[in-house]
Amino acid sequence: MIVADPFILMWITLALAGLTIIAYAHPRLPLELTSIGLVAALLVLFHIAPLPSSDGREGLDAVGLLKGFGNPAIITVVALLIVGQGMVRAGALEMISQMIYRAARGRPAPAIAVSLLTALTISAALNNTPVVVMFIPILASLADRLGHTASRIMMPLSYCTILGGMVTLIGSSTNLLVAGTAQELGMAPLGFFDFAIPGLVLAGLGFPYVIFIAPRLMPKREADEDEPATSSGKQFIAQFTVEPASPLIGITAVAGMFPALRSMTVLMVQRGAVHSRAPFEDIALEPGDVVIVAATRKALVDAVSRSSGLQIRLTSAAEGDPVAGGEAAPEAQAGSDLRGDRVVAEAMVSPGSRLLGLPIEQSAFPAANSVRVLGIQRRSRMTRAHMHEVRLQPGDVLLVSGHSRDVRRLRANRDVVLMEWSESEIPSYNHARRASLIFLAVVAIAATGVLPIVAAAVAGAALMVFSGTLNVRQAARAIDRQIILVGGAALALNAALSATGGGAYIADG
């Protein structure tokens, strides 16, 4: 060990802080790598040149540097991320987004403003990430109606959630870290609404700027090449069978359309050997009817996840579809076997595929890969044929669902090309009320001080898992390693600056 002058240690620590800031700003250096490097450098520095305390003992050791990773603020942030993931996974905010979407008919510009204001409000009590994820699809659709590129809407969405996060203590991970550090320094604990007044002032000034000025400063782009496939409004051709207990039974076409299927365009209804094509007149749906529709990806996934009495399928009803464990899923369970730990993705039929010229019903592709094909998107034209008449062509996009591991395995399949960034989980809407109650309970308990915020957040995260809203893998995927590593490294640097006097030196100028 080296006996080092505390003054020298202070300057070394300040130099590390400066290098860390530069590294964080460098676009090619991952935040996680920089954070790990900072923690490692501090551990080595204070082991080789320990800083003695006033009583002669080692003043800053590995325990002192690493305790930030167990800081209640970090634990609270992680727990709130899990709670937020439960809200997204259950589609608990879907009702709000649907109300906004209905208000958007003919008035997309006001609906964008309402959406951004809603996102700002929700982010005051929920982490920014799940709020942004929930509002991306609806804002992408509204941007398309206005003829704007999605990036001109997504950046204001991000800014609005940041503004909303300033209003309450749990609205931002930064608020929690500052509150925890202040309490460690002997200051009075910050309350749930102590940020409210300055936060509301900033939000009140920032929101008009984000709505009216920020979009004008955004660079104009011809197209969003990086726009995720999950936000696309393109139409897929799908086929469903009306179940005996379906609420659609007896629904009659009005003016050639089926109002109950307003999110889908009905192209054909098959009843036995009779094929009826649009426009429809005096046709009421009956059990066993096979309906060919054109619908967006979101509409098809919603129909599957809500158990709405639709058997979404493109594979033969007699075959059934393999699920995890090798069991066949009965057609009557077409909705239920797709929920749970399952995802949807898009796969394009490759030019040399063995699927070319075959109807998907006759193809062994779904059974061989343990996936289900929900729809087909053909770029050239919108087909109105029965699915057994549609023969696959190069460039056809299949909307597939299955367990995440099975869908990702399609990357090695030579017959299709799995489209990057197209994978998303199928929501479990039957858990929406449960997730909402847990979230509201966490916010209410934290706001009233019945339990400390960390206890309320951890209890809420545990309830999300115990209630079945999330499984352990889904909860683990919700944890953001950047927040943990950057937050822990920042607290380690804070401990080093405090111990060496660097913080006081900077404060005194």
Both 270 and 402 in a single domain? Answer: yes
Identify the three-state secondary structure at position 19. helix
- Tell me if 407 is assigned to some domain: yes
Query: How many domains does the chain divide into?
Result: 3
Q: Residue 176 in contact with residue 189, Cβ under 8 Å?
A: no
CA 202: distance to chain centroid? 26
Both 89 and 204 in a single domain? Answer: yes
Both 71 and 209 in a single domain? Answer: yes
Phi, psi torsion values for 467, nearest 5 degrees = -80, -10
Q: Residue 464 in contact with residue 438, Cβ under 8 Å?
A: yes
Both 468 and 390 in a single domain? Answer: no
Q: Residue 402 in contact with residue 343, Cβ under 8 Å?
A: yes
Amino acid at 339: R
- Tell me if 343 is assigned to some domain: yes
Q: What is the DSSP letter of 3?
A: -
- Tell me if 444 is assigned to some domain: no
Secondary structure of the chain: what % helix, strand, coil (to 5)? 55, 15, 35
- In angstroms, what is the C-alpha Rg of the chain? 27
Both 56 and 68 in a single domain? Answer: no
Both 154 and 287 in a single domain? Answer: no
CATH number, domain of 286, equals 3.30.70.1450
What lies within 8 Å, CB to CB, of 103 at 6+ separation is: 110, 111, 114
Which pLDDT score, from 0 to 100, does residue 147 have?
66
Q: Residue 60 in contact with residue 46, Cβ under 8 Å?
A: yes
Global confidence as pTM: 0.74
- Tell me if 429 is assigned to some domain: no
Both 99 and 236 in a single domain? Answer: no
End-to-end CA distance of the chain: 32
Both 44 and 91 in a single domain? Answer: no
493 vs 17, 25, 156, 176, 434, CA distance in Å? 7, 17, 32, 17, 40
Helices (H), 283-387: 297-305, 365-369
DSSP string computed for 71-121: -HHHHHHHHHHHHHHHHHHHTTTHHHHHHHHHHTTT-HHHHHHHHHHHHHH
Q: Residue 267 in contact with residue 298, Cβ under 8 Å?
A: no
Both 415 and 341 in a single domain? Answer: yes
Both 260 and 397 in a single domain? Answer: yes
- Tell me if 483 is assigned to some domain: no
- Tell me if 282 is assigned to some domain: yes
Nearest residue to 453 via CA among 169, 178, 70, 164: 169
Which pLDDT score, from 0 to 100, does residue 322 have?
35
- Per-residue model confidence as pLDDT tens for the chain (509 residues): 666 677 888 999 999 999 999 999 998 899 999 999 999 999 999 888 887 665 445 568 888 899 889 888 899 989 988 998 888 888 777 667 667 766 666 577 777 888 889 889 988 888 777 788 777 767 776 776 666 676 778 888 889 999 999 899 888 888 888 888 888 778 888 888 888 999 999 999 999 998 888 877 877 665 544 444 454 567 888 888 887 877 778 787 776 677 777 678 888 888 877 777 777 777 888 888 888 888 888 878 877 776 555 555 554 333 444 333 333 333 333 343 444 567 888 899 988 888 888 887 777 888 888 888 888 887 656 666 666 677 888 888 888 888 888 888 888 888 888 887 778 777 777 788 899 899 999 989 988 889 998 999 999 999 999 998 898 988 998 888 888 999 999 999 998 998 888 888 888 86
Amino acid at 148: H
- Tell me if 440 is assigned to some domain: no
Both 210 and 336 in a single domain? Answer: no
Amino acid at 251: I
Print the domain residue range for 376: 229-421
Which pLDDT score, from 0 to 100, does residue 221 have?
60
Both 55 and 68 in a single domain? Answer: no
Q: How far apart, in whole angstroms, are the C-alpha atoms of residue 66 and residue 71?
A: 9
- Tell me if 491 is assigned to some domain: no
